[in-house]
Amino acid sequence: MLELQVFAPDAGLQNPSPFGAKAVALMQMSGLEYRLVAGDVRKSPKGKMPVLVDGNREIADTAHIQQYLENERGIEFDAGLTDEQLAIAQAFRHLGEDSLYWAITYSRWIENGDIVREALFGAVPALMRNFVFSMVKKQVKAALHGQGLGRHSAGEIYQFGAADLSAIAVFLGDKDFMFGQKPSSIDASLYGMLSNIAIPAFDTPLRDELNSHENLLAYMLRFNKKYQIGGWVLQAADQ
Ligand SMILES: N[C@@H](CCC(=O)N[C@@H](CS)C(=O)NCC(=O)O)C(=O)O
pLDDT bracket for residue 230 (50, 70, 90): confident
Mean pLDDT of 141-163: 98
What's the gap in Å between 167 CA and the centre of ligand 1?
23
* Separation CA 161–CA 167 (nearest Å): 10
CA atoms within 13 A on the CB side of 171: 17
For residue 130, is pLDDT > 70?
A: yes
- Pocket perturbation via mutation, ligand 1, pick of 5, 17, 19, 144 by most ligand atoms within 8 A of CB: 19
**Contact between residue 185 and residue 89 where contact means Cβ atoms under 8 Å apart:** yes
Among 49, 40, 37, 50, CA closest to 3: 37
Residues in the chain: 239
Residue 66, helix vs strand vs coil:
helix
Main-chain phi, psi angles of 49, to 5 degrees: -115, 150
User: Does pLDDT of 236 surpass 60?
Assistant: no
Whether residue 219 is predicted with pLDDT greater than 80 in this model: the reply is yes
Look at the chain and report how many structural domains it folds into.
1
| Residues spanned by the domain of 70 | 2-238
Asked whether the predicted pLDDT for residue 13 surpasses 60, the reply is: no
Distance of alpha carbon 174 from alpha carbon 103, whole angstroms: 26
Q: How far is the CA of 189 from the centre of ligand 1 (A)?
A: 13
Q: pLDDT, tens digit, for every residue of 169-181?
A: 999 999 999 999 9
pTM above 0.75?
Answer: yes
pLDDT score of 9? 67
Position 123 confidence tier, pLDDT thresholds 50, 70, 90: confident
Inform me whether the pLDDT recorded for 34 exceeds 70.
yes
Look at strands 51-54 and 2-6 and give their pairing. Answer: antiparallel
Nearest CA to ligand 1 atom 11: 48
The DSSP code for 32 is -
C-alpha distances out from residue 225 to 25, 174, 191, Å? 11, 18, 12
The per-residue pLDDT for range 92-106, each reduced to its tens digit, is 999 999 999 999 999
Share of the chain above pLDDT 70, in %: 94
Q: Atom 2 in ligand 1: which residue has the minimum CA distance?
A: 61
How close is the Cα of 112 to the center of ligand 1, in Å? 19
CA distance 228 to 238: 16
CATH of residue 48's domain is 1.20.1050.130
